[in-house]
Structure 1
Amino acid sequence: MNGNAAKKDRRLDLDWIRIGAFGLLILYHIGMYYVPWDWHVKSPRTIDWLQPIMVLTNPWRLTLLFIVSGAATRFMLDGAATPAFLRTRLLRLVPPLLFGMLVIVPPQTWLQLADAGTQLPYLRFYAAYLTASGNWRWHDAPLTTPTWNHLWFVVYILAYTILLAGAAALVRRLPARALALIGQRVARIPLWIGLALLPVVTFTAIRLILAPHFPETHAFFGDWTVHAESLAAFLFGFGAARSDRIWSALAAWRHTTLLVAIAAYAVYAGALILWMSGAIDPALAKAVMRSVYGLDQWSWTAAMLGYAHHHLARLDHPARRYLTQAIFPWYLVHQTLIIGTAWMLRPIALPLALEATMILAATIGGCALFFALVRRTNWLRVLTGLKPVDRSPRGSCGPEHPSETAW
Structure 2
Amino acid sequence: MQRRHDLDWVRVCAFGVLVLYHVGMYYVTWDWHVKSPAASDTLEPFMLLSSPWRLALLFLVSGAATAFLLEKARDAATAGGVRTRFLGSRSWRLLLPLVFGMLVIVPPQSYYEVVEQLPGGYHAGYLAFYARYLAGYDGFCDADGCLDMPTWNHLWFVAYLWVYTVVLWLLWRVAPRALEAAARGLDKGLEGIGVLVWPTLFLGLVRILLVGRFEQTHALVDDWYNHAQYFSVFLLGFLIARSEAVWAAMARMRWAALLLWLGSWAGLIAYFVRFADGQPPELLRTAMRMVWGLDQWCAIVAVLGFARHWNPGDSRVLRYLVPAVFPVYILHQTVTVVVAHHLKPLAIPPLAEGLLLVFVTFAACFAGYEVVRRIAWLRPLFGLKRTVRGRTDGAPAMASSSEA
Please give the TM-score of this superposition, normalised by the length of structure 2.
Answer: 0.90
Aligned pairs for 1:8-407 (under 5 A) are 8=2, 10-80=3-73, 81-116=82-117, 117-172=121-176, 184-189=184-189, 191-192=191-192, 194-276=194-276, 281-284=278-281, 286-287=285-286, 289-311=288-310, 313-392=311-390, 403-407=395-399
Unaligned runs of 5+ in 1: none
Give percent identity, aligned residues only: 41
> Partner of 1:133: helix, strand, or coil?
coil
Structure 2 contact 155–330 (Cα < 8 Å) conserved: yes
Q: Which amino acid aligns with 1:171?
A: A
Q: Deviations over 1:228-259 (max 9, x none)?
A: 11101101111111111111110011111111
2:136 and 2:149 in contact (8 A); partners too = yes
Q: Report the secondary structure of 2:317's partner residue.
A: helix
Unaligned regions of 5+ residues in structure 2, if any?
74-81, 400-404
Residues 323 and 187 of structure 1, relative CA distance in 2, 3 Å threshold? closer
Inter-CA distance 202–190: structure 2 relative to 1 (3 Å threshold): closer
Q: Assess if the C-alpha contact under 8 Å between 2:383 and 2:396 holds in 1.
A: no
Q: Is the 8 A contact 2:258 2:299 kept in 1?
A: yes
Inter-CA distance 339–185: structure 2 relative to 1 (3 Å threshold): closer
SS in 1 for 2:245: helix
Instruction: Give the distance between the partners of 2:179 and 2:200, measured in 1 at CA.
Output: 27
Q: Which amino acid aligns with 2:60?
A: I
Structure 2: distance between partners of 1:36 and 1:179: 43
* CA distance in structure 1 between the aligned counterparts of 2:238 and 2:219, rounded to whole angstroms: 24
Is the CA contact (8 Å cut-off) linking 1:95 and 1:382 kept in structure 2? yes
Query: 1:134, 1:335 → 2: CA distance?
Result: 23
Aligned residues of 1:216 and 1:223 also touching (Cα < 8 A): yes
Q: Distance between the aligned counterparts of 1:181 and 1:71, measured in 2?
A: 17
Tell me: CA distance 1:255–1:141, structure 2 relative to 1, closer, same or farther (3 Å).
same
Is this contact kept in 1: 2:114–2:122, CA < 8 A?
yes
Describe the superposition over 1:350-377 as per-residue Cα deviations: whole angstroms up to 9, x where unpaired. Answer: 1111111111111011101100010011
* 1:300 partner letter: A
Q: 1:115 to 1:286 in 2, by over 3 A?
A: farther
The count of aligned residue pairs is: 386
Distance in 2 separating the partners of 1:185 and 1:296: 24
Change (3 A) 1:258 1:123: same
- SS of match in other structure, 2:189: coil
Query: Quick one: distance in 1 between partners of 2:125 and 2:165?
Result: 39
Q: For residues 355 and 180 of structure 1, what CA distance do their matches in structure 2 show?
A: 51
Report if the CA contact (8 A) 1:132-1:146 is conserved. Answer: yes
Q: For residues 237 and 292 of structure 2, what CA distance do their matches in structure 1 show?
A: 20
Counterpart for residue 77 of structure 2:
none
Distance 1:247 1:397 in 2: 32
Equivalent pair of 2:87/2:166 in contact (CA under 8 Å): yes
Contact persistence 1:324–1:405 (CA under 8 A) = no
- What's the CA shift string for 1:128-173, capped at 9, x where partnerless? 100113522254323221100000000000000111111111134x
